[in-house]
Structures are given as structure tokens and as C-alpha cells.
Amino acid sequence: MPDAEPTNILVVDDLPEKLLAYRTVLEELGENVVTARSGEEALGLVLRHEFAVILLDVTMPGMDGFETAALIRRRRRSAHTPIIFLTAFADEVRAAEGYAHGAVDFILTPVVPEILRAKVRVFVDLYRMTQQVRRQAEERIALAEERTKRAAAEDATRRSNFLADVSRALADSLDPGTTARTLARQAVPFLADLAGVTLAGEPGQPWRTELAWAGPPGREPGGVRLTGPDGPHDELRDAVERALGRGQPERLDGLDLPYPAPADGRVRSAAVFPLRARGRTLGVLTLALGPSGRRHEPADLALAEDLASRAGIALDNARLYKDVERADRQKNEFLSMLAHELRNPLAPIRNAAEVLRMSGPDQPQVRWAREVIDRQLSHLVRLVDDLLDVSRITRGKIQLKPEPVDLAAVVGHAVEASRPAIEQAKHRLEVALPPEPVWVTGDAARLTQVLTNLLNNAAKYTDPGGRVALALAREGGEAVVRVWDTGVGIPADMLTAVFDLFTQVDRSLDRSQGGLGVGLTLVKRLVEMHGGSVAAHSDGPGKGSEFVIRLPALAAAEAPAAGANGRPPAAAGRLRVLLVDDNVDGAESLAALLRLAGHEVWLAHDGPGALEAAAGFRPDAAVLDIGLPGMDGYEVARRLRADPAAAPAVLVAVTGYGRDRDRERSREAGFDYHLVKPVDLAELHRALAAARPAVPAR
Ligand code: ADP
């Protein structure tokens, strides 16, 4: 063995000159020669080192060679180390004694160097070979150990992966039945050949068991739901019943039961684990083995126990979720009923108020009372309508009536609907509309509701005298409406939450117009039903708020054929009328009459307001008071006429003066009709009729 490490050779003799001689002879072997001068010293060395061979002088003072050999043999480490005695006597009796003490050979002294070397070399080689065999055996053992460890680690990983997978699957389901099925199906084949999850029914209700089995070779895995205790065999059923009752695991060995139909095979053993949470047993997990020939290993049982406790929690969660869902459904049903019930008395009250308005004496107190009733009624109607809508939306009962809609018209209606709130708070309203119509496919009434909600909120959440603005624009393929204000703003952490049902930033906020926290929920749901989105922005409290609505816009080619002035033709008989009068009450009452006649009416109270409204609302007809502050009616008419594409088809002047001169002035300014106050309604209707597309204008 060329590059092997030197081995140790021990030589024991009491005479130093002899030791020197042996060393000289043996050193040629290239091994490590260690010497000792007494049996005691030799024993000490043997304790500390391992020797390939020991050469022992028989005659030594004190402990002689034989005694030393006997003690060496007793040491575990040196029990088998070859011992060669060195002796001057070739005496048979002594030799026999030597062998009895564990000698393997004798060498007569004085030694012949070659013989000594040859014999020692034999033992050194033998030692080396033994060492090598031992080393290889150790390596094999180490390898086997490592393999076992790796397998154990892989097993542990497989188990924890399994647990993680099942936990994930369990967390996905929020229904007890699905949770049970998931658990049963995940348990095979990893933990069982046949797995059952039995859910304890409510008292008096039968159990439900979800069964799953691993496919025997050549067969598909399968599963089935059993109702009642019929499925499993008696012994299993009793164990399940016990586990359900006591909440303790059960073991069944030495079974020979058929699988429940439609699977086949024999069940040989089963383990039943209760599924528990918060002190209650909600069901049991049964793991049965049979066709695979496997047995329930302790590690598998521990894993199953862990799994059962997780499944118990998942089942509990699913049950709690069901309870919450039920409560939510009941709440929604209650809301919808409440809203219906509240709405019923509102219509007659509204009618009665209307009768009061038409017939009551116009004393200031009566008028005030009427206005209060009117305002509060509108508020109540709005709240109740919002409630109704929300309950309809949460139950998926709102249906849109989509048609091509010009958003400018929607903006017009929304501005008109929210004008009372804006004016009451003395806000300045700015509306910016693009020169071209922006078409979308939508439900005009619902889109109007969306913008009205945003404008009303802007008015409500802005201190009196603030600014409320709305801008409509087309951005690429989208119609974008921005509504912003200079109001109280919204904290960053509420920008998303404000769209949640019943969410209000500050419920204690003492605003003149309260709310229920449903308006923005409606806005969001309705916009989303239109395929759009809404987002809130605010730089924080006191910094105002902005709401941005994006809807898919119709391409110009998809827009309906426009009338001469870019508007769609008005529905037969129904006109869009702009009414301009600085006498608010007069304007309101005339507007009410025109609305009764089926027209859509937009009000403005001064010249600039009229021009702005005309740009947004694009009326078919405009009825202008001449004596307006700042810019008079003539000027408004001239400006309206200046843009033939946008001008209403019919312009009607309303004035206190009916002289020829006045009529002439009206004509010059571009009016088609000149009516003298108090206006004769029939005359007004005739004038407006000229704007109907069926009748040639003017
Ligand atoms: P409501 O106005 O009835 O409370 P909404 O759903 O319309 O319910 O609005 C939810 C909440 O969002 C409001 O209570 C308010 O706190 C906040 N909010 C809505 N619009 C604005 C706005 N323009 N400025 C500031 N806060 C607003």
C-alpha cells in the first residue's frame, strides 16, 4: 500500500540496547516504531494508541511478558492486536503458555533481522487490510444513515407540503359541504385508501358524509355524498358516532368490511378523528386503509390529527360565514321591505302638497310651510329611493335600459336636479362641456342619478359659498366626467372606503342634509354596471374632493344620426326647453307647467347662466325674459343666434311690453316669438310646437 499512513509497531523490552537493535531492524519497514521498557509502560501506550503488532520480551523484571500479554488482551481496544513474543528459550512448555496468553507467534533471540522484518510485515499488512475493510464498512454505514436521514427529511417535507396544500384548499371554501368534500378528497391517497368526512347535522337532522376513495389500480378515484347513517358499515358507523359524541379519536384494526357502494375493496383498518372548534365537535374525519395494504403509521396519525384540527377551524369558519351571509340576506330583505313601506305614504303626501300648491291661498306663511314640506319631502324621497336602489343592487335586481346617450344631456339633467342643493348652499357652479357631444351606451336616468349624487355630495360637503365644478370630456376611448369641490375633502385612508355601503367619513358631522352612506355605493355599482369606473381623489381634510367617472365612449361612427345642431332629434312632442328668468318663483312655476306638459326644462336666472346652460343642455327652445340683470334678453338671443349650429330651433321672448316697437326689437335680436306677460300658456305651447322636428321650424 504505497501511500498509506505509517502504522504503529510496539516493541517492549527492559534492555535499552535490545530496544535499539529492534528499532534499527524494524525502521527499514518505514512504519512507526514505538518502544516501551516495561509491561506497565506498554499497557499505558496500548491504552492511548492503536498498534498493528506488539513485540513482547518474555523475561522482564516486574510484570513479565505473559502477564503483560494477558492484560493487553483484556483491553477492548487491543483484545485482538497480534502479539509476538521474543524469547531466548525454545521451550515447548513456555511456548504453550505463551499461546494461552494470546501470542500469535514466537521469535527466538537473538533475532535474525530478515525473519523479524518478514513476520512483522505480515502483521502490518494484515492490519492495513483490516483497517481498510473497516473504513469501507463505516463509509457504507454513513451512506446508509444519510440515505435514511434524507428519506426522513423528504417524508417530512412531503407531509408538510400535503398539510399546506390541504390547508390552502380548505381556506378557499366558505361552505361546510364543500369544506367536507375538499377534506375527504385531499386525504386520499396520501393518508387513506378511503376517506370520509361526516358533518354533525343540527339536532334531529341526519348526518351528511362526503366519501372519497383512491382509485385501485386501473380505476379512477371517486367520491360520493351519503345522507344519514346508512352508508358505512356498522362497526365504522359506531366509531363515527362515538367520535361525534365524545370528541375523541377512535381506532379500528383487524377489520374486514366492504367499501360502501359504489366503490369496491375491503376496509382493513380505520382511524376516526373528531373535527373540533371552540369546544364543539362539528364532524369527524375517517381514514380507512385496505386495498393498498398500508397500515396507519404513527407519523401519519399525527399528521391526520393536525389536519383534523385545521379542518375543524375551517368548518367553523364556513359555518360562521353562512350565519353572517344569512344575517346579511335578512338585513337586505328587511331594507328592501322598509324602503317599500316608507315609499308608499310618500306618493300621496307629494300629491297632497301639489294640490296645496295649485289651490292654496298664497299667504307667506302657507307658502313657507308648503316649501318646507316640499323640500323635506324631496329629501325623504331621495333617501328612500337610494335605500330601495341599494337593496335592489345588492340583490342584483337593477336592470339598465341601455341606449345611446349624449352625456351632455345627462349633465344637464343632473345639474338641474342638484341645483336646489347648490343654490341653497350659495355655491358657485361651474360646468365645462366639450364642443362635441360625448356619446356612451347607457341608461340616461341611471347616469343622471350618478352625477346628481356626486353634485349633491359636493354641495353637501362644502361649506356655504364654495365652488362646485363639473367637467365632461372625451379622453381617447373614454368619456370622463369630473366633479370636484372646494369642500371638506376626504382623508387618504377613506378614499376607497367611501364607496362602501353605509360608510361615512364622519357620522357625527352635523350637516344640514344628512345621508345614509349609500349614495356613493350606488354611484360605484351603477358606473360599474355601465362598464366604467369611479375614483375619489382629495389632498386631505379641508382640501376639497374630486370624483372621476370613466365610461367607455361610443366612437363617432357609432353615435346616432344627429340633428342639424348636433343633438339627437327630440322625442315626439317632448322638447328640451331652456327657461331664463331672474324672477325665481315665476320661473319655477312656469317650469312646473312646462314639465306638466311633458317637456324637459332647464332653468337659468341670468344671461351668462343662460348661455352656459344652452351650451350644455342644447335646448330645442329657449324662453327668455327680456329684463335680465347685466346682460338683457336681446343680447342673450343675439349670442345664441350667433352660433347657428348650437342655437335652439325656437327663441321666445317674454316681456311686460307689447308695443310694435318692442316686437320689432325682438325680431331683430333673433326671437321667433314675442309673448307679453302674463304669458298665455296656450300661446306659449303653440310657439314651442314650432320647435318640433315634425313641423318645419318657423
Ligand atoms: P352620504 O352622503 O349619504 O353620507 P355617500 O355614500 O354619498 O353617503 O358618501 C359617503 C361619505 O363619503 C359621506 O358621508 C362623506 O363622508 C364622504 N363624501 C362623499 N362625497 C364627498 C365630497 N364631495 N366631499 C367630502 N366628502 C364626501
Strands 83-87 and 103-108: parallel
Sequence-ordered strand ranges (E) for 298-438: 403-406, 428-432
**Is the CB of 544 inside a 6 Å radius of any atom of ligand 1?**
no
Burial classification of residue 168, based on how many CB atoms lie within 10 Å of its CB (0-12 exposed, 13-18 middle, 19 or more buried): exposed
Residue 566 has pLDDT above 50, yes or no: no
Residue closest by Cα to atom 25 of ligand 1: 489
pLDDT one-digit tens code per residue, 187-234: 988 899 889 999 887 766 777 888 888 776 666 677 777 776 655 677
By most ligand atoms within 8 Å of CB, the mutation choice from 454, 481, 485, 520 for ligand 1 is 520
Residue 171 has pLDDT above 90, yes or no: no
**Is the CB of 498 inside a 6 Å radius of any atom of ligand 1?**
yes
Alpha carbon of 401 to ligand 1 centroid (Å): 27
Q: Quick one: pLDDT at residue 92?
A: 66
Q: Quick one: pLDDT at residue 552?
A: 93
Strands 428-432 and 403-406: unpaired
Q: Quick one: pLDDT at residue 108?
A: 85
**Is the CB of 457 inside a 6 Å radius of any atom of ligand 1?**
yes
Q: Which residues pair with 210 in a beta bridge?
A: 197, 225
Q: Percentage of residues in the chain with pLDDT exceeding 70?
A: 91
Alpha carbon of 453 to ligand 1 centroid (Å): 9
Residue 95 has pLDDT above 80, yes or no: no
pLDDT one-digit tens code per residue, 526-535: 999 999 999 9
275 close to 281: Cβ distance less than 8 angstroms: yes
Residue 478 has pLDDT above 50, yes or no: yes
pLDDT one-digit tens code per residue, 327-363: 888 888 888 888 878 877 887 787 777 777 777 667 7
- Residues 63 and 70: their CA atoms lie apart, in Å, by 11
Residue bearing cell 510484570? 63
Ligand 1 atom nearest to 485, measured from its CA: 23
Q: Quick one: pLDDT at residue 360?
A: 61
Q: Quick one: pLDDT at residue 542?
A: 92
pLDDT one-digit tens code per residue, 239-250: 888 998 899 999
**Is the CB of 505 inside a 6 Å radius of any atom of ligand 1?**
yes
pLDDT one-digit tens code per residue, 119-144: 999 999 999 998 899 899 999 999 99
Q: How many residues does the chain have?
A: 698
Alpha carbon of 490 to ligand 1 centroid (Å): 9
Q: Quick one: pLDDT at residue 129?
A: 92
* Core vs surface per residue 578-595: b (16+ CB within 10 A) or e: bbbbbeeebbeebbeebe
Residue 604 has pLDDT above 50, yes or no: yes
Alpha carbon of 499 to ligand 1 centroid (Å): 9
Q: What is the DSSP letter of 133?
A: H
By most ligand atoms within 8 Å of CB, the mutation choice from 457, 481, 518, 537 for ligand 1 is 457
Ligand 1 atom nearest to 484, measured from its CA: 23
**Is the CB of 487 inside a 6 Å radius of any atom of ligand 1?**
yes
More confident residue, 546 or 176: 546
Q: Quick one: pLDDT at residue 697?
A: 30
Confidence class for position 511, pLDDT limits 50, 70, 90: very low
**Is the CB of 545 inside a 6 Å radius of any atom of ligand 1?**
yes
Give how far Cα 326 sits from Cα of 175, 361, 501, 688, Å: 12, 54, 18, 56
pLDDT, mean over the chain = 85
More confident residue, 127 or 586: 127
Residue 93 has pLDDT above 80, yes or no: no
More confident residue, 54 or 658: 54
Alpha carbon of 522 to ligand 1 centroid (Å): 12
Sheet (strand 53-57) strand order: 32-36, 8-12, 53-57, 83-87, 103-108
When pLDDT is averaged across residues 673-677 and rounded to a whole number, the result is 85
pLDDT one-digit tens code per residue, 73-92: 888 888 889 999 988 877 76
- Residues 199 and 244: their CA atoms lie apart, in Å, by 9
Q: Percentage of residues in the chain with pLDDT exceeding 90?
A: 36
Q: Quick one: pLDDT at residue 692?
A: 67
When pLDDT is averaged across residues 551-580 and rounded to a whole number, the result is 66
Sheet (strand 533-538) strand order: 428-432, 467-475, 478-485, 545-552, 533-538
